Structure formats: structure tokens, C-alpha cells
Amino acid sequence: MASLDEWIEFSYEHAWTDGLPVLPPTPEAVRRLLDGVDLPSDRVVGVVPPRGGVATVEAIAVNAAMAGCLPEYMPVIVAAIEALVDERFNLHGVQCTAHAVQPLVIVSGPAVERLGFNVGPGYFGGGSRANATIGRAVRLVLWNVGGGHTGNPDRSSSAHPGRYTFCIGENLPASPWPQPLHVRRGQGSTSDSAVTVIACEAPRYVSYGARCPAVQNLANIAEAMSTLSHNNAYTQGELLVVFSAGVAAGVKNDGWSEEAVRDYLFRSAGNTVGRLGLSPYFHKVRDSILSQWPDYIDPDDPNCFVPVVRHPSGFVLTTAGGFAGSVICSGWGANGGLSVTRLVRPEVGEDG
Amino acid sequence: MGKCIEGSAMFSVVSPLGEIRRPRLRKPLPRRSRPDGGRPLVGLLENGGGGISLRTSSIQQLLENMYGADVVVQQKKNRSHEAGDTMLAAFSSCWAVICAVAE
């Protein structure tokens, strides 16, 4: 390339970017990023569908360079790709579906503070290089290595802005519970860092009340989930809740355990079989939906309650943000995009 | 280091695409398929409702990129004889027809 301008046009002509400009992945920039992870550059992290591109550590580093990442971000990005290619996630489906879900990366553990994630106000909307460029690098891997190009083969009717970058960190000090997300999901310890991926819709803000019992805010969150407009209403799957610092403080102060919150949401967030019958979507794919329901749902009883997740463990619960409203992100139902957690390898030079 | 795109003066860049890993075929597609000796021609029938575009687009890309096939897509829009005739004509020279159904 003779100039940065030439590179930018080159990247668009070769469809190496999804629309936003990207930085040139020079051999020097790629080498710097490879120095950030203690893995051979030709190590295969995964094969990324639908294109079937091989995500070696080097290919990931190239896309990270285009995103503007720092070398110390590399272990997080590698872990995210490992999680995304897990069969449980059904990345092929997530990359091609007509639905709007996009893969979200949630980082937990000491890496959140060390890498400078914004876990406070505006955490979904920028303000931090870590949030923005790690999420961007993951997206570019899915675009370039995975070939998930808009329109074909990605048939998402609308997608959402998270397709440019979609990465947050957990605010553990503000969490109602002392253990980070990955430990609560049974992986690693509090000294480890991890990523959890889940395919989800755009964040929906849930209004809140200050200085009220936590149950009132939990009820409002459950109410926001009890809609006919998302796949969770029909085929359940999983659903993300990000408690705001204020709501999390109430949950903690009122003594709610994680299990109690899950059980409450499971019993409160959903619709009756009769109400689902109001939806044209339900009638369109009724037989398919009924075949996926667990035994505890009686499809012939209009008063039978259909929770938005199959089991209380289907809620992915974390904490971030300011004092005000929490956020819910609906999933893709039972089709896939289900949450997967992977531990992050120690950074180069980090005790670990 | 992967393939570099050499620059004229300032800098080179590395391709971000990664190599494609082709799945092993249980049974290779036949070489004979088309009178002109071209790529195998495969029909793809969209038969269903919601979510079907996911399957057709994925299967189409798989057939084209992985197996080197040309793909003819037809949608089962109605049950008329005319629609059936159109479909049959489109598929008549195909080596195989795959029916992609919605769940």
C-alpha cells in the first residue's frame, strides 16, 4: 500500500470489513499482537462457519490488528473464539439466521479491571478501548474468517448494532454475589478470567425504582421478559440479565441468593399457553414449538405457564452499568446461541 | 506469517481471511453432471416457512464453496401444476435435488 487512503479503499474492495474503516494489518502489527498470547501462531483455535475459515492464532491476530487491539487483549479474543466455535453455540446458525441475535462477549474476572473495561455507565455504548476493540476483533473474525457477510449468507432481517462490536465486562464489585460469572457457572476460580458468549438481541433497558424492595425491580425485569415478541416466549432457550449497580445493590441488601433470583424469574417471566395463542408466530410454527416443550408444559391447558427459559439455569445473570435501569437481552430460543464459557489464558508475563 | 499483500512503497498487509478447511466428503460428487463438462449442478428446494432462508443460504454456500457445485434454487410457493412444472424444468438437469425444510 502506498498510503492509508489506498489501504482503506483496498479493504472495502476486498470486503475485508463490514462497513466501518479498519486499520492496516501490517506484518509488524500482527507480530506485536502475537506477542501478547503464549500460543504458536499456527495453532488452530477453531473452524469458523459458514465459510469454514480456519481461525489460527495468527488469523485472529490479523483481525485484532484491524480492530485496533492491544497485544494484552489477545488471550481474551482467543478465548472468545474458542467459546463461539463450541458446538453448543451453533455458530453456523447464529451467523446465518433470519433472526436478529448477535454473539455477545462477556468478560469476567481480573482481566476486566486489568484491561480497562468500562463496566460503569454506558458500558454497552463505548468509552473504553477494551470493550470496543475486543468486540470489534471478534466481529471481524466472524466476518472475514467465518464469511458471515450481510445478506448472504447472513439472512438477518434486521441484525442490530451489536454486529459492529458487542462486548462487555462484569462489574464484580457491584455484583450482588461475590463470585464472578464464570465461577458461578462452575469454571475456574476468582483469580481466573473468562469469557462467556451468548447470542442475543439488542439490549433492552428496564425501568427501575430507587429505594424500593428488590422484588419490585425483579418483577419489572420479569414483566419485560413476558412478551410475545421474542423467541424465548415460544422455545425458551436462554436469556441475559445485566443488573445495574443500583438494582444489584438492592438484590444484595435484601439478601437474595442467585438461586432465589433465578427461581423467582423462572416463576414470573413467561406467558400462559392461552396468551401464546394470540400470536401469529405461534400458529405459524405451532407443531415445531410444541415438539420442543418440556413435559412440565401442558399445551392443552390455556392456563399453563410457559417460562421464558427451560430451566432456572437458563438465565445468564451479570452486573454492569450505572445506578439506574437494568438490561435484558433476549436469546434465539432453543435454536442455539446458548451460552458458553471459556477461561482466558494468562497474559504473557502474567503470573498464572 | 500468512500471505502478504506487497505494497509499492509504505507498507504491506496480511490477509485476514484464513484458509478454508474443506470437510471430507463421504462420497465425492460425480464428475459427470453436465453435458458441457462444467461443475455439478445441484437443485435446492425451499420448502417451508420461517427460518428457511438460513438453511438454503447455508446449504447453497456449502455446495458452491466446498463442493464446487452450481446451485439452482427454487421456492415451493404454491401447489399449482404450473409451479410444479417450473420446478421440474429447473431441476431436470440437476445431479441431485436437496429439499431444505423448515423445522
Cβ of residue B93 closer than 8 Å to a chain A Cβ:
no
First to last CA, chain A: 40
Subunit contact B18:A25, Cβ cutoff 8 A = no
* Chain B interface, best mutation among A92, A285, A335, by max B CB count within 10 A: A285
pLDDT at A51: 87
pLDDT band at A324 (very low <50, low <70, confident <90, very high): very high
Instruction: Please give the distance of CA A234 from its chain centroid, rounded to a whole number.
Output: 21
Chain B residues whose CB is inside 8 A of the A52 CB are 20-23, 65-66
Of A53-57, A90-94, A141-145, A236-240, give the lowest mean pLDDT range: A90-94
User: Which of B6, B57, B63 to mutate to test binding with chain A, by most A CBs within 10 Å of its CB?
Assistant: B57
Each residue's pLDDT tens digit, A146-194: 999 998 778 888 999 999 999 999 999 999 999 999 999 999 999 999 9
Angle between helices A57-67 and A27-34 (to 10 degrees): 110
Nearest residue in chain B measured CA to CA from A53:
B20
**Interval A226-240 mean pLDDT:** 96
A83-99 mean pLDDT: 91
ipTM entry: 0.89
Torsion A211-A214-A216-A220 (CA) sign:
positive
**Lowest-pLDDT range, A55-64, A290-299, B34-43, B87-96?**
B34-43
Q: What is the mean pLDDT of chain A?
A: 95
Q: What phi and psi, each to the nearest 5 degrees, are found at residue B45?
A: -105, 120
Number of alpha carbons in the 13 Å side-chain half-sphere of residue B39 = 12
pLDDT digits (tens, 9 = 90+) for A68-77: 999 999 999 9
B54 contacts A155? CB cut-off 8 A: yes
Task: Give pLDDT tens digits for A260-297.
Answer: 999 999 999 999 999 999 999 898 888 888 988 999 99
* Residue of B4, B13, B44 to mutate when probing chain A, most A C-beta within 10 A: B13
Instruction: Assess contact for B56 and B76: CB atoms under 8 A.
Output: no
Instruction: Nearest by CB to B58, from A41, A47, A50: name it.
Output: A50
Which chain B residues touch A284 with a CB distance below 8 Å?
Answer: 49-50
Q: Is the CB of B19 less than 8 angstroms away from the CB of A53?
A: yes
CB contact under 8 A, B13 and A144: no
Strand order through the sheet with B70-75: B70-75, B41-47, B96-101
The Cα A335–Cα A344 span in angstroms is 27
pLDDT of residue A243: 98
- CB atoms B16 and A16 under 8 Å: yes
Would the CB atoms of A26 and B57 count as touching at under 8 Å? no
pLDDT at position B50: 46
Determine which of A3, A35, A155, A230 to mutate to test the interface with B (most B C-beta atoms within 10 Å): A155
Question: B68 CB near a chain A CB, below 8 Å?
Answer: no
Contacts of A225 (CB under 8 A, 6+ apart): A232, A239, A265, A269, A270, A308, A328, A330
Confidence of residue A351 (pLDDT cuts 50, 70, 90): low
Chains A & B: contacts with CB separation below 8 Å: 113
Span B35-56, average pLDDT: 66
Q: What is the DSSP string of A256-270?
A: --HHHHHHHHHHHSE
Per-residue pLDDT at B62: 76
Phi, psi of A215 (to 5 degrees): -60, -30
State which H helix or E strand residue B71 sits in.
strand B70-75
Contact: A50, B61; criterion CB under 8 Å: yes
Say whether B5 and A10 touch across the interface (CB within 8 A).
Answer: yes
